[in-house]
Amino acid sequence: MVASASACVSSHTRCLAWNEPIYDAAIAHPRCAGQHVTMSIESAADLAGMQQVGTVVALAIAEMKAAARVGTTTAELDAVALSTFKRFGARSAPQLIYGFPGITCISVNDEIVHGIPGPRRLASGDVLKVDVTAELGGYIADAATTILLPPIRLSATRLKEAASTALRAALSVARAGERVSVIGRAIETEAKRAGFAVVRELCGHGVGKEIHEHPSVPNYEDRFSRDVLTEGLVIAVEPMLSELPSTAVEANDGWTIRTRNGCLAVHEEHTIVICQGAPLVVTAAA
């Protein structure tokens, strides 16, 4: 689940808010109120709550991945996540908070994020992104992954591997006391090394009590940002890479964001808790 408007978070980092027109990205959006909130683990109950909702998100993604095959509709995949949520009493945070017309965001090929589930049938070679954000007991966790449908293109494999490597690199430097910008530096370094580009208009964000909270977590190094990672801080780290350099544009449905030039895009994401050492990944598969 992607954030966030610069006016809500930082005067330097330009990222898009949920359902915010791209041409208004620098203007505060009324749905950005949560970005003045910062979720930090302050008790054992907080940690347990984040781990519980993170487990639901991880299970939903695993079950969607198992159900993804050529001929399946994106609405059918969305129903898989709904079934997972119901088993645990969880709710779709985007639907709950923003009125998103689906349980999860499902994006295909050049669609980067926020795709609406519907009658579209998955086709051979599709690059599928599933982005799951759940609320349970007042806590919210957010994760995403890219699924490649056969026959798998070499270019798509390389792009997905680059995003996964970028996410691992970001988590390896996400430590208490470091600046938030080290995460973006790690992500962009890995993307460039593999010959790909980060989607600069979209970024990670704080999460936990709201979907989108402070701080903004760009996928490139924002040298002007002074935000520091503090112990217990909860953030979503989410590399979004495109096959070629491209800006992000909003589709006519008012939600889906895709690459302007039509090139492939991928998305990997985890919700983490910042620690003195390696971060705790609450959305990691069990």
User: Tell me, what's the pLDDT at 25?
Assistant: 28
List pLDDT tens digits, range 65-120. Answer: 999 999 999 999 999 999 999 999 999 999 999 999 999 999 999 999 999 999 99
* Range 41-45 average pLDDT: 96
> Can you spell out the DSSP letters for 48-99?
HHHHHHHHHHHHHHHHHHHH--TT-BHHHHHHHHHHHHHHHT-EEHHHHHH-
List pLDDT tens digits, range 114-131. Answer: 999 999 999 999 999 999
Q: Exposed e or buried b for every residue in 226-265, given b needs 16+ CB within 10 A?
A: ebebeebbbbbbbbbbbbeebebbbeeeebbbbbeeebbb
pLDDT of 278 higher than 90: yes
33 band by pLDDT with thresholds 50, 70 and 90: very low
List pLDDT tens digits, range 159-189. Answer: 999 999 999 999 999 999 999 999 999 999 9
16 band by pLDDT with thresholds 50, 70 and 90: low
Q: Exposed e or buried b for every residue in 100-130, given b needs 16+ CB within 10 A?
A: bebbbbbbbbbbbbbbbbeeeebeeebbbbb
- Which residue did the predictor score with more confidence, 18 or 58? 58
Fold of 33-281: Creatine Amidinohydrolase (3.90.230)
* Range 148-165 average pLDDT: 97
User: Tell me, what's the pLDDT at 285?
Assistant: 82
Phi/psi region, residue 181 (left: phi>0; alpha: psi -120 to 50; beta: rest), is alpha
List pLDDT tens digits, range 233-271. Answer: 999 999 999 999 999 999 999 999 999 999 999 999 999
pLDDT of 229 higher than 70: yes
Indicate the average pLDDT of the chain: 90
- Retrieve residue 197's tokens: 């580009």
- Which residue did the predictor score with more confidence, 18 or 14? 18
* Range 189-214 average pLDDT: 97
Instruction: Note if the pTM is more than 0.75.
Output: yes
286 band by pLDDT with thresholds 50, 70 and 90: low
Task: Report which of 240, 256, 229, 230 is spatially closest to residue 106, judged by C-alpha positions.
Answer: 256
Task: Report which of 51, 207, 47, 54 is spatially closest to residue 134, judged by C-alpha positions.
Answer: 54
